[in-house]
């Protein structure tokens, strides 16, 4: 990790950096060139970076500092992706409601003795999930779901440390420009908000609902907000990282390029909306309602799309409508990605842009069949359990 983030110190001792370490010579009298003023956060020598940071030690040149910050944000985006994946596994194993309280420091130490485990299990037994769904659960089974939720929470704390501690270090060293300071503050604030939102979501599944005997679930609205904020954090970190690590390509601003760029932005928004729709599917277990494709049951348009009143409530709370909307959005997203790929083929683009378009197309056509087959198996398993 040290070699990844920080370049070797002997690189600063090479000949190419000797002029930077040496004091500047006075400008020649016969030189009539004009020295342009530097923008805020831009430095011409290592010594200026050191002076700007308020320290007398030698710091990194601006380009090297940008590479370090870019690699750090790339690692951050990877940890966020891991948190999303781990959260999905926690959701599939129905482990999210196993920890019935939240403490920033106290809960970092798991139960160790038999008495502590029994006390934790007794707290879980006081909430709806045990009373309605898991009333015959053993302590061994409880330990499994508890550790699943525990690992998700501890990973979230790791994400917070990966963002906040290096950010404070880079800020003190003066390696962040004025604009980058604003971005880093926003990212760190979003990490903290994400943690609070996660507990706010879990809390909705722990509440007693006297008028309902359905399986306890977290609010689909809070689940969508939790997933959406995680996706925003991931995309913002990755975008900022790549903007620092990859040199920008200067392409002529043609009409075709502008059209491609706008269509790419629209496609990204559509994919984001599809992901949020998937959160509503997960929150309502709507994926188990119909397990056939392309039809839903025996019809293209099911009859129970508008069973709730008012009509707008069906979009967010009717499992049939939620699954129907998710299917439409998924098909539309794949279509838009396909069109984006063919539009990119008509324009001379850099190699990495073409590779990104091909990868996006391959992922789009791979994800659909895999998710449908997985949902179909889960639906069959759920139906078999209910018939026992």
- Residue 299 pairs in a beta bridge with 296
Q: Which pLDDT does position 104 carry in this prediction?
A: 85
Q: Cα 179–185–190 angle (5° rounding)? A: 130
146 neighbors 155 (Cβ within 8 angstroms):
no
Size (the chain), residues: 388
- Counting as low any pLDDT under 70, the low residues of the chain are 1-61, 210-213, 368-388
Residue 288 pLDDT? 85
What pLDDT is recorded for position 153? 94
Q: Give the CA-trace dihedral at 344, 346, 351, 353, to 10 degrees.
A: -20
What is the per-residue pLDDT for 133?
87
Q: Which of 145, 153, 136, 55 is nearest to 97 (CA)?
A: 145
Place of tokens 């984001």: 272
pTM of the model: 0.78
Task: State how far the Cα of 114 lies from the Cα of 156, in Å rounded to an integer.
Answer: 27
- Rounded Cα distance, 325 and 200, in Å: 26
Residues 316-341: pLDDT tens digits? Answer: 999 999 999 999 999 999 999 999 99
User: Which pLDDT value is given to residue 298?
Assistant: 86
Provide the H-helix boundaries in the chain.
2-5, 18-21, 46-52, 62-92, 114-124, 128, 139-173, 178-205, 220-245, 255-284, 313-317, 319-345, 351-386
Residue pair 237/183 in contact by the 8 Å Cβ criterion: no
Are 375 and 287 a contacting pair, CB within 8 Å?
A: yes
DSSP string, 249-266: P-----HHHHHHHHHHHH
How many angstroms separate the Cα of 175 from the Cα of each of 41, 61, 63, 181? Answer: 9, 9, 10, 9
Tens digits of residue pLDDT in 292-310? 888 888 889 998 899 998 9
Asked if residues 121 and 139 have their Cβ atoms less than 8 Å apart, the reply is yes
Question: What pLDDT score does 213 carry?
Answer: 57
């Amino acid at each position: 990790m040290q070699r990844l983030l920080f370049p070797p110190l002997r690189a600063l001792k090479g000949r190419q950096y000797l002029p930077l370490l040496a004091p500047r010579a006075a400008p020649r009298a016969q030189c009539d060139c004009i020295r342009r003023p530097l923008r805020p956060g831009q430095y011409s020598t290592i010594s200026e970076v050191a002076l700007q940071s308020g320290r007398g030690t030698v710091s990194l040149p601006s380009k090297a500092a940008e590479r370090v910050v870019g690699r750090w944000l790339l690692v951050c985006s990877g940890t966020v992706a891991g948190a999303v994946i781990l959260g999905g596994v926690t959701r599939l194993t129905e482990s999210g409601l196993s920890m019935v309280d939240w403490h920033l420091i106290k809960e970092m130490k798991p139960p160790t003795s038999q008495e502590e485990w029994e006390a934790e299990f007794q707290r879980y037994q006081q909430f709806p999930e045990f009373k309605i769904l898991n009333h015959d659960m053993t302590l061994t089974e409880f330990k499994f779901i508890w550790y699943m939720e525990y690992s998700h929470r501890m990973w979230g704390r790791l994400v917070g440390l990966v963002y906040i501690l290096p950010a404070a270090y880079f800020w003190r060293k003066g390696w962040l420009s004025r604009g980058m300071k604003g971005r880093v503050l926003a990212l760190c604030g979003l990490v903290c908000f994400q943690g609070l939102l996660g507990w706010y979501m879990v809390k909705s599944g722990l509440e007693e609902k006297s008028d309902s005997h359905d399986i306890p679930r977290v609010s689909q609205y809070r689940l969508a907000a939790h997933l959406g904020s995680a996706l925003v954090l991931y995309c913002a970190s990755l975008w900022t990282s790549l903007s620092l690590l990859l040199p920008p390509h200067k392409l002529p601003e043609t009409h075709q390029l502008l059209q491609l760029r706008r269509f790419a932005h629209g496609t990204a928004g559509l994919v984001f909306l599809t992901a949020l729709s998937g959160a509503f599917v997960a929150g309502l277990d709507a994926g188990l309602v119909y397990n056939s494709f392309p039809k839903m049951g025996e019809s293209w348009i099911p009859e129970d799309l508008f069973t709730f009143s008012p009509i707008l409530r069906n979009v967010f709370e009717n499992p049939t409508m939620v699954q129907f909307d998710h299917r439409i959005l998924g098909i539309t997203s794949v279509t838009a990605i396909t069109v984006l790929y063919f539009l990119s083929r008509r324009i001379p683009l850099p190699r990495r842009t073409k590779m990104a378009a091909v990868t996006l197309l391959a992922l789009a056509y791979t994800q659909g069949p895999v998710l449908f087959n997985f949902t179909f198996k889960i639906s069959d398993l759920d139906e078999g359990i209910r018939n026992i």
